[in-house]
């Protein structure tokens, strides 16, 4: 049985006051309306994590993620945050390999293996992002491109750790563009990803939640989530509005 997950990647948005207000609103609406079998994850900027964790309630299925972590455990890495620091503040999840980090901070598939293993060692659950740029989609090589991302980053993780992995497919051409993958495009890529994960990790892949990301909104979430292999969403822009974010989670 796969967990249904809707995660909100706030990216570099929200002052502390705005972030606290948004998180409180999400938690309040979730308390009243969220079905037991759906999990919400909020991924605010690092500096808001500690304050937002204090708002969490063990009876409400809302968790907190960081948007990144460093691959090292400690040391002279000015400005960086380690996975064990995140775990020490009760952060439970971490987004790794987002296309913005791959593009603007040169994160390679190999570096992401190190980050994944650092996250697992600290007991965090990574949300590992993959997805192709527009030119790859137009060239028709998107399935191989995404499979290669998975092979290169995930071959170096153990089967035991794999059981704690969440995967997010985010076609880069759909991120923040208002262009969404069609439900057929999302499902066929998710099915391809699951098949590939099965070739790497066997039957455990049946239990891996694979989230769709890219201009997912209350108006299109139901159609996207209808795919057999689409287990939820990783939401950018629409996660900055509490009502919209929870409405997406009510779309299963």
Active site residues: 98, 170
Tokens of 65: 């993620």
Q: By CB under 6 A, tell whether 126 contacts ligand 13P.
A: no
**Chain centre to alpha carbon of residue 21:** 22
Q: Which of 44, 126, 232, 237 binds ligand 13P (CB under 6 A)?
A: 237
Q: By CB under 6 A, tell whether 248 contacts ligand 13P.
A: no
What is the rounded CA–CA span in Å between residue 65 and residue 209?
16
Nearer to ligand 13P, 201 or 217 (CB): 217
Q: By CB under 6 A, tell whether 213 contacts ligand 13P.
A: yes
Q: Which of residues 150-209 bind ligand 13P (CB under 6 A)?
A: 170, 175-176
Q: By CB under 6 A, tell whether 19 contacts ligand 13P.
A: no
Q: Which of 215, 227, 229, 230 binds ligand 13P (CB under 6 A)?
A: 215
Stretch that binds ligand 13P, among 105-113, 187-195, 200-208, 232-240 (CB under 6 A): 232-240
What is the rounded CA–CA span in Å between residue 237 and residue 216?
9
Nearer to ligand 13P, 224 or 235 (CB): 235
What is the contact surface with ligand 13P in residues (CB under 6 A)? Answer: 9, 98, 170, 175-176, 213-216, 234-238
């Amino acid at each position: 049985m796969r967990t249904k997950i809707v995660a909100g990647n706030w990216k570099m948005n929200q002052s502390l006051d705005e972030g606290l207000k948004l998180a409180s609103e999400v938690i309040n609406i979730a308390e009243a309306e969220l079905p037991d079998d759906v999990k919400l994850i909020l991924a605010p900027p690092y500096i808001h994590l500690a304050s937002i964790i204090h708002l969490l309630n063990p009876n409400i299925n809302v968790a907190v993620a960081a948007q990144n972590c460093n691959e090292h455990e400690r040391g002279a890495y000015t400005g960086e945050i380690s996975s064990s620091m995140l775990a020490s503040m009760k952060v439970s999840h971490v987004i790794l390999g987002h296309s913005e980090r791959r593009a603007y901070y040169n994160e390679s598939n190999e570096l992401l293996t190190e980050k994944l293993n650092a996250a697992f060692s600290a007991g965090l659950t990574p949300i590992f992002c993959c997805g192709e740029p527009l030119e790859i989609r137009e060239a028709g090589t998107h399935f191989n491109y995404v499979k290669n991302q998975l092979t290169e980053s995930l071959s170096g993780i153990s089967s035991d750790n794999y059981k704690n992995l969440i995967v997010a497919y985010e076609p880069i051409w759909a991120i923040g563009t208002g262009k969404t993958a069609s439900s057929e495009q999302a499902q066929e890529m998710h099915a391809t990803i699951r098949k590939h994960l099965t070739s790497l990790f066997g039957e455990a892949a049946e239990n891996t939640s694979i989230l769709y990301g890219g201009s997912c909104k209350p108006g299109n979430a139901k159609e996207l989530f209808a795919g057999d292999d689409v287990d939820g969403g990783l939401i950018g822009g629409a996660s900055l509005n509490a009502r919209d974010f929870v409405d997406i989670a009510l779309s299963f």
